[in-house]
Structure formats: structure tokens, C-alpha cells
Structure 1
Amino acid sequence: MKLKYLSTALATALCVAAAGTGLAQNSAPPVQKVTAATPAPKLVVMIAVDQFSADLFAEYRGHFTGGLARLASGVVFPSGYQAHGATETCPGHSTILTGNHPTHTGIIANNYFDPSTARADKRVYCAEDETVAGTTSKNGEYAPSVNHLLVPTLGDLMKARDPKAQVVSVSGKDRASIMMGGRQADELMWLAPTGLTSYRGTTLSPTAQQASTAIAAAINQPRAALVLPADCTTHDIAIPLEKGGSVGTGRMARDAGDFRRFLASPEADGAVLATAAALRQARKMGEGDSTDLLIVGLSATDYIGHSTGTEGSEMCIQMAALDRELGDFFARLDATGIDYVVALTADHGGHDLPERNRQNAWPDAQRIDKALNPGAIGKEVAEKLGLPQPILYGDGDDYYFAKTLTAAQRKAVLAEILPRLRAHPQVEAVVTRDQLDAHPISKRAPDTWSLLDKLRASYNPQRSGDFIIALKPRVTPIPESGIGYVATHGSVWDYDRRVPILFWRKGLAGFEQPNAVMTVDIMPTLASLISLPVDANKIDGRCLDLLSGPESSCR
């Protein structure tokens, strides 16, 4: 598939942003097989593809010819798990480079509720500093921050060992960049309507600013519809939506300045990869004495999944483009002669919209009953018990009691609410704080975890709700379908938990290991490759051996 404007955007951003630096023209040495004695790579590249489920990887794997085909020729763990139950963007990204489940990262959801805060809505965004005056948790109105992350990242540990090690994080979303980048990143940024942005009060480096200008120019240009690749024609079926319109046959045309549609297109990933390559080039990452870390968060797959579902022509176009753009990115790294290792995974999986599922062998796929809304439930119970409102907060699986309730009132509310919820036909289970406090974190393989195991790995006593609801399989927690938001993720089921985990390095013999592993295993695996000590008692993951045969890469 040819997406010429993406190639142009990539080349332009690289040439403009890295002007005057020049690519290293190292002669390529003979490829040496990677063994336990092979020195550490000079550059670690961590790529997270938002909503890139194991199902998507398996479905399109035979069609990949570019960057994803290269990664699929390396060390492949097709049954990776975001093992926890809160399969959202922020918790998922928090596991990748910390080696910890959300119970320890403290990132239990994209948003959680703090009934003691002075904010009227009590909601806190996972990657904000809510103490900044005049801010709210609403998009565009919060102050981005890493404050809520409770544990160090791989980059933080690398900087602690050697301050000269460079750490750069660039993503489509702020929470992806922040949760993987940690506290010590040299540069940390994400896409914005103006191109790129970072923390308030932060000035972008000259290279990032030039890349930002190029991206802003691309956003402000209209884009014609993309050509549908021949192998995507079977996905080209319109699915009508309740509120009018349809999805499934989109070609991602957009008007000038339409940032939301820019994000939900291959252009967004091309912009992030262009910026990452430009920053690597300008900073000469991988060319010094230390091992450097380049973090890349690609968000277009997630925006497309939410906007149009996972099985339409839109996602087919995206998979082909992602494969191609990663191939271009790796080719630029190859040209430097740097010894680099790549790891790729996802923050969570995803599920298609129920309207298409009902056409394809799952007639019972549903949208959530509006009666399960915390506000609606709380209002009904408060009126019955004669309590002042509100008594409940929540906008996801976690439900929080208002701080104004006494212990006796909480007990009465629970006694009224729990039977109602547990009897609801769309509810699989309701788990209380007391149950989670008493349940240990599982040490078993993630494919054997119980529902309580999954929820426990997402539970943090200081931030989680007073009780948590798990919906039945294939109940989509969006009550109505409408253009822009038709499908989602976030459940305890494997279509949201399973993600691919891929590693590649020149000279590393490829193999496939089908047994279940976890995203929390990535950090200790990469740390071992660069001989960085990690206290096994402070993480939930383990090192994965990337060497086939009797030798081990886990040192």
C-alpha cells in the first residue's frame, strides 16, 4: 500500500528536525549471532501500539511485509498478557517499563475518583497534577504530570546508574509518554493540535520544535481518502449505527485542522515515528558510551478502534500502514549501523463493536444498560434510603462512596446495591474492597487467573473504588453507538488482556514461545540485556530468556 503523504511527512520531519546533524554512515559489519557473551546493545527501542491486541496481530500477521514482519521474525510471545483487570490505556502503559502491575504502579484506571478532593466532580486523571489551581480532569483542562506513578521506570533506573544515559519518550497520547517515560526522561512529548507538546512550562528542544512545526503543518492540510488495499476488500462492509451514519467503509479523509481525525489515521503514527527518529539522530542516541532508551507510543490503532471498531476496512488500512511506517523507521535505524534492540507490545487489547459482532457469530453481543450508571444507581438508592445525594461516584468499573456517608450508611447502601447489581443480567460479578484486601496477588501464569486475581492486580487501596463491577463477556460499556465512539476495551476478558510481546535484535535467533507471559516481564528482560540490576522483590515481572538453546539472556 502506498501512502505517499506519510512517506513525505516522515522524510520532511526527519530532514527539517535533524537538519545539519547528518545520519551516521557506518559500514555494516558482518552479522554476529547474539549470545550470552554479546555486549549490551547501544540503543533500546520500546514501542507500544495502543489497542494492538493479540487477536489483531494474529489476524494480520500473514499480511505483514515491513516492520511488523521483521519483529515477527524475532522472538515472539503471541500470548502476552496485560494480566490485570483494568485494561485501559494508562494502567497498561504503566506496566510496560516498570515491571509492576497497576496495584503497585498506582495507576488503576485512566480516571479514578477521590471523594475527599475539593473538586465538584471528584474525578482525577491518571496523568495529571490535580493540585494545580484552576485545573480539572477534563481533557485539555488538566496539568499533565507523572505524580501518580508510584514506581520507577526502566529509564529512571538507567539514569540512576549512569546520568549520561539518554531517555526520550514521544507518543500520540500524554499518558503513554508519561507512564513509559517516567520521571527522569531527557525529553518527553506527545501529539497536540499545535504539533507536539509536553509538561506545562516545558520548552521543546529545537529538534522537537522543528518536528512540531512540520506536524502542525500536516494537521492543517486536508487529506483525501486513502486507497483501499486489495486484501482489505473483505472488510469493506458498512455497519449502521443507532444515532445515524455507519462505520466499516471509511477511508480516513479529513478536513484541514481536524485533529481528532488526524489522530485516528496512520498520519499520527507516522508523525510520532518521524519525531522519534529525528530526536535519536539529533541527540546521537546509541552512538555514545552509554546505552540509551528511545520510547515510542503509537496511538492511531486505538483511536481507529474506538471510532470504527477493530474489524472494518479502517483497521485493515491502519494495520498495513503501521507495518509500513515501522519498516521505514527501522530502515533509518539500520542506516546508522547502531546495535539496537526493539521490544513491541500493547497497553491492552480491544473488542469490536457489538453491531458487527452480531453479524459475525456472536448474536448476543450487547451494549451496557444505562441503568448501571453509578449516578443513576446512586440516585435511586439515596432516595429509597433517605440519604443526601450524591452517594456514589464513578465512570468505569470502580464505584466510590461519598465521604459524607457514615459507616452505618455505607453498610446500608451496600446491602441495597450489591443484590441489585449481582442480579443484573449483564453483570458477571461485583467485588468489594474487603474481598480484594484479603486476596493475594497471583503468582500463577496469567492465562489461569481467576476473575478475582485479575481485579486484585488492578487494585490499589488508596485509589480503587469501594466495590468493582465486572461485566459479562462482550458487553460493551458504551450505551449508544454514534459516530466517533463505537467500541472500546477495559474488561477482564482475554480479548482485552491478551497482547503480543515481540523482541528483535540483529543476530538474535528468532523463535516463538506460545506460553503465557506478561507485559510486566518486559522491563526486567530489557534490564538484563543491558546488565542493569533490578531488585526482583520490587517488581511483579520476571526476565524472559531471549536466547534459544541452553544459553540465557537473563543475567
Structure 2
Amino acid sequence: MMRRALVLFMVLVGCGSTPPRTSAPSARPRLVVVAVYDQLGSDVLAAHLPHLDPDGAIRSAIARGRYVQRARYAYSATLTAPGHAAIHSGASPRDSGIGSNRVFVLGRGRVSAMDDGTHRVWGRDDAGASPFRLQAETVADVIQSERPASLVVSLALKDRSAILPGGQHPDVCVWFDAEAGGFTSSTWYAPAMPEWLASWRAREPFEAAMETPWTPRDPAALEARFGPDVQPGEGAYGFDASFPHDARGLEDADAFRSLPSSTDHMLALGREIAARFELGEDDEPDLLALSISTTDYVGHAFGPSSWEYADVLLRVDRALGDFVRELEARVGPIALVITSDHGAAELVERTHASGHTDAVRFTSESSLPRLEAHLRETLGAPPEGATAWAEGWVQPYVYLGMREPRVIEAALAWLRAQPGIGAAVDARAVAAAPVPEGESLDALIARAIPRDPPGDIYVMPAERSVAMEDMPEGVGTSHGSAWLYDRDVPVIVVGPQFAREEITDVMPQCRVAGTIAELAGVRAPRFACGAL
């Protein structure tokens, strides 16, 4: 417990150094790194893989480890928060309690699903954060129970992507929040920002990473692969469809996360943390959970078959490769798991061009008033005291003002008739019923809904259609469905137990958590279903 107590002291008071640590030779890797490339489906990686840098993290890991081409999620809520919970716990949303990225709160609107309303985010008075919704134990929780001298560090550009991998009480858990002035955390983890993080933020302001416009490394190669830079349906977060992309002066809070330099900035903090907390420098294996969100923002704005996505994947993958090599130069061989939380659909314009003209892009913001108008036409005005029949629509849930059978039935009838919607169900009724066996659509939806659903009606897009949120009308793509382009993700494992091998059979995604646990030398968390 001495090492953990020392780390806690550093977090609370910002201690500048630790006493020297000694170690004896060990066959077990002393550091397990789990890197999630947000929004990297199996087919998308297969298309981009030949064009990635051999020295990048992905190809160098494939060259020396086990490459599972398809690990398949067993639920339909293929979103960032459920995916990160599943990677580190093995649990579907039904068991993890994590069914969405955001939730609707009356009087506040759309808020992070991590916001507990109690534990204030450092640097903000209007947001909280903690793992309060997480019901499943994670590998991090098991490590801290079985190996109390080991350290758990979780670092990401999104709150959910740092909080969920870290479990209940990680030693360090930080994420980026532009409104908080940069990388931050919450009072769940420590009363205030430690001096070391405040000092690093002062030395490395994130705004500096926005000063240089983003230009493609090899325009000729990109044009040969994808055609002209500008394509229909591209552009979001303040960026238009064409390179260069200049984030200076943009007011969209997600503009920074959309730049390759945001991953560089995050990994710079990772280097600071690894050195300061001496990760991997004794015989108790530490866990470093990283999440690269830049691919997700770029994928949403430009699609997976765009100049931007290809360029950003190449850049962030090379940056992670450099980071891994630096770690190994300092601590020796590490264990590495590379995977993704979900895939994504193509831009509907590309889908139309391929002959699937039934693909639809719809937004919750524009659909909610139409649903409310239908309910008023069908049911009349809401009763006194109710603000609306349908108060909110935050993917993937509609939030009703009144949970009466007639309201649910009328809302379901309208939703199921809309182009682009593949399924709409009473979330609480599904949560109360047994989960069907197998991978039928009903089973995938049942596992997607937590036992205590955050909303009233679960909505899933039809195949090749996309449900958008926080995006301008007519652009972008998304995920969050039962279709295989969303559910199938790659997994690459490097470690002494894993010989070089390429596996083409589909594997259950719930084995990833067991694999991480095996690398760390601890038992698998409850909902893991074996190892890869």
C-alpha cells in the first residue's frame, strides 16, 4: 500500500518527485497499455491498414502480436461510453449500466452521462463527473483489489473515455475539457487540481496545438484513393469540407479534439504522467488506459472514407507508435492492447452512390419537435404541469413527459413509421423482461438497454442510416446500431502469452476484458467471457 499512498499524496498536494524505486528482473510485463482508437471498425481498419506507417502502433503491434480481425459487440448501443465500459469490464449496457454518452435532464437539457451533479469538474461550476452509473467491475477495479501496489492511470480526450476504463478509484484519471481550460478531472478523484497538472497545463496550453492549420501529408496519395478532397456530406465542428483545416478562432468546443495535434497533446501529458508516477518501474504491473478520440470526431465530420480520416489515422497511429517505443525504452517490453469502442456507417452520400438510396440521415434536434407535434395532434395538449409529451431526445433515447401507455404507444407508432429508424422500443418494458438468447435484433437491443434505462423509448437507426446529434443538418455520419459495421472492431494484443497470429474467426468482444486481466496477472472481471 505504500506506493499507492505516495501516489495519492502526489495527487492531492502536487509533490514534485518520488523516492527511487528498485525492481528485480521479471518475465511479466510491468506495464499494460490499453489504447482505444475511437470509431475504428474492422472493415475500416482493413481498408486503411496497407497505408499506415509500419512504425505506427497498429502495424508494429500486428507484426509481433495477435491480430483478431473481428471482435463483435453483443449489443446495439454501439456508442463511446458503452464501448469503453465493455472493453474494460466485458459487460453489455444491461449489466454495466452504461447505455449512452449523454442523458437528458429536465431544466438542464443534454448533459454527460458521467455528470452526477455532485462531484464538480475542476475548473467548472456547471458540470460534475464520476463513475456513478458504472455497475460492472472493471479490470482496473480487480487490479486495485488484488494488486494494491499497482497503479491505474486513465487518460482521454473525452470524460467518458477516461472515467469508465479507470473503474471506481483509479490513481490518476484525467480528460480534456475546453470549458475547464484543458485537461482536468473532478472532485470524485481529488478535492482540487494538483500542482503538477496545473503546472503542466501552464507550460503546455492546448491552444498552442491549434495554431498550425491541419494540412494533409500526401494529397496525391489521398486523391488516388478517395477522389477529390471535397465530397458531399463532409464538414462539421466549424470546419468546411476542404483542407486545410484551421481551428484558430473556432467557437465549437470540439474543434480542438478534431485536430491530429490534440492526440499529440494528450500523449505529451501521458509522457508526463508516466515519468512522474514511474509507471512500469517496479514488479507490480501498472495499467495505462488511453483513448484516442480524434478519429471519432474526424469520422463523424468527414466519414471513414475521406482524406481527413485517412490522414488523421496515419498521424495518431504514428504518434502512439512513438509513445509506445519511448515507454519500452524506459521500462522494457510492455503489454499492449489496441482495439476500438465501435465502428461507423459511411456518409449517406457515399451509400447512395453505391446504390443504397434508402439510407437516411436524421437528427434528434429536428426530429423531436415533429414527434411532439404528432403527439399533440393525437393526444391533445399535455396536461397542466407537463411541459411537453416528449421532453427530450438524446441518442439513443426519447424522454417522455408522462409515462402513460397511450403516450408510449403513440410515440412508438410515429417513430417506427419514420424513414431511417430501424427499431423503437419501450425501454423500461424491455429492461424488465428476460434477454433473448443469441444475436437476434431483439437480443441485441435488450442487451443495449441498462436495467434502469436513462430514457423511455430506445431508438436505433435502420441499416446504413444514421442518427445525428450536435451536428449541422446535412453533414456527417455516426454509429449506434446493431449493424456489423458498428459492432465489429479489431483487437491487437502484444504480450508474452500471445504469439504472432492473425485470427479471422469472429470473436466475442467480451473477451477483451479477460485478455487485459490476463496480461496484468489478475482474475478477469465478472462479465468477461474468457480471453482472446
- Native 8 Å contact 1:79 1:515 kept in 2: yes
Work out which of the residue numbers 38, 51, 64 in structure 2 matches 1:63: 51
Deviation at residue 508 of structure 1 after TM alignment = 4.1
2:99: which partner in 1? 108
1:42: which partner in 2? 30
- Native 8 Å contact 1:168 1:181 kept in 2: yes
1:53 aligns with 2:47: no
1:402 aligns with 2:392: no
Deviation at residue 263 of structure 1 after TM alignment = 1.3
CA separation of 1:294 and 1:207: change in aligned 2, threshold 3 A: farther
Distance 1:429 1:366 in 2: 14
- Native 8 Å contact 1:172 1:272 kept in 2: yes
Tell me the secondary structure at the aligned position of residue 70 of structure 2.
strand
2:520: which partner in 1? 530
Instruction: Supply the AA of the counterpart residue of 1:239.
Output: Q
Distance 1:132 1:279 in 2: 23
1:411 aligns with 2:405: yes
TM value normalised by structure 2 = 0.83
Which stretches in structure 1 are left out of the alignment for 5+ residues? 1-16, 30-37, 546-555
1:543: which partner in 2? 530
Deviation at residue 241 of structure 1 after TM alignment = 5.0
CA separation of 1:220 and 1:346: change in aligned 2, threshold 3 A: closer
1:496: which partner in 2? 486
Distance 1:171 1:217 in 2: 14
Distance 2:364 2:267 in 1: 40
Mapping of 1:311-350 within 5 angstroms?
311-350=305-344
Deviation at residue 342 of structure 1 after TM alignment = 0.5
- Native 8 Å contact 1:247 1:308 kept in 2: no
CA separation of 1:152 and 1:364: change in aligned 2, threshold 3 A: same
Mapping of 1:429-440 within 5 angstroms?
429-432=423-426, 433-440=428-435
1:478: which partner in 2? 468
- Native 8 Å contact 1:429 1:469 kept in 2: yes
CA separation of 1:238 and 1:421: change in aligned 2, threshold 3 A: same
CA separation of 1:301 and 1:123: change in aligned 2, threshold 3 A: closer
Q: Deviations over 1:495-539 (max 9, x none)?
A: 12121111113684211112222333222122123331236xx31
Q: Deviations over 1:8-62 (max 9, x none)?
A: xxxxxxxxx99999x99x9xx9xxxxxxxx9432111011111122122111111
CA separation of 1:480 and 1:330: change in aligned 2, threshold 3 A: closer
Which stretches in structure 2 are left out of the alignment for 5+ residues? 1-13
2:182: which partner in 1? 195
CA separation of 1:413 and 1:441: change in aligned 2, threshold 3 A: same
- Native 8 Å contact 2:33 2:337 kept in 1: yes
Deviation at residue 383 of structure 1 after TM alignment = 4.2
Work out which of the residue numbers 158, 162, 167 in structure 2 matches 1:177: 162
Q: Deviations over 1:207-242 (max 9, x none)?
A: 544442343155365213424314222334312459
2:11: which partner in 1? none
Instruction: Supply the AA of the counterpart residue of 1:62.
Output: P
Deviation at residue 79 of structure 1 after TM alignment = 0.8
CA separation of 1:161 and 1:471: change in aligned 2, threshold 3 A: same
Work out which of the residue numbers 286, 290, 293 in structure 1 matches 2:284: 290
Tell me the secondary structure at the aligned position of residue 429 of structure 1.
strand
Q: Deviations over 1:221-275 (max 9, x none)?
A: 5213424314222334312459999955323333268763321111111112222
Deviation at residue 400 of structure 1 after TM alignment = 3.5
CA separation of 1:214 and 1:424: change in aligned 2, threshold 3 A: same
- Native 8 Å contact 2:229 2:243 kept in 1: no
- Native 8 Å contact 1:241 1:247 kept in 2: no
1:93 aligns with 2:84: yes
Deviation at residue 76 of structure 1 after TM alignment = 1.0
Instruction: Supply the AA of the counterpart residue of 1:377.
Output: L
1:125 aligns with 2:115: no
- Native 8 Å contact 2:364 2:467 kept in 1: no
- Native 8 Å contact 1:246 1:483 kept in 2: no
- Range with bigger deviation, 120-129 or 348-357: 120-129
Distance 1:218 1:166 in 2: 30
1:469: which partner in 2? 459
Q: Percent identical across equivalent pairs?
A: 25
- Native 8 Å contact 2:216 2:244 kept in 1: yes
1:354: which partner in 2? 348
1:456: which partner in 2? 446
Distance 2:234 2:171 in 1: 47
Distance 2:364 2:523 in 1: 49
Tell me the secondary structure at the aligned position of residue 400 of structure 1.
strand
- Native 8 Å contact 1:99 1:520 kept in 2: yes
Q: Deviations over 1:303-350 (max 9, x none)?
A: 111222222111111121022112211210221242310011111111
1:238: which partner in 2? 230
- Native 8 Å contact 1:371 1:377 kept in 2: no
Q: Deviations over 1:150-181 (max 9, x none)?
A: 12221121111222111111111111000111
- Native 8 Å contact 2:89 2:136 kept in 1: yes
- Native 8 Å contact 2:102 2:112 kept in 1: yes
CA separation of 1:246 and 1:273: change in aligned 2, threshold 3 A: closer
Tell me the secondary structure at the aligned position of residue 170 of structure 1.
strand
Distance 2:46 2:147 in 1: 39
CA separation of 1:262 and 1:219: change in aligned 2, threshold 3 A: farther
Distance 2:522 2:129 in 1: 29
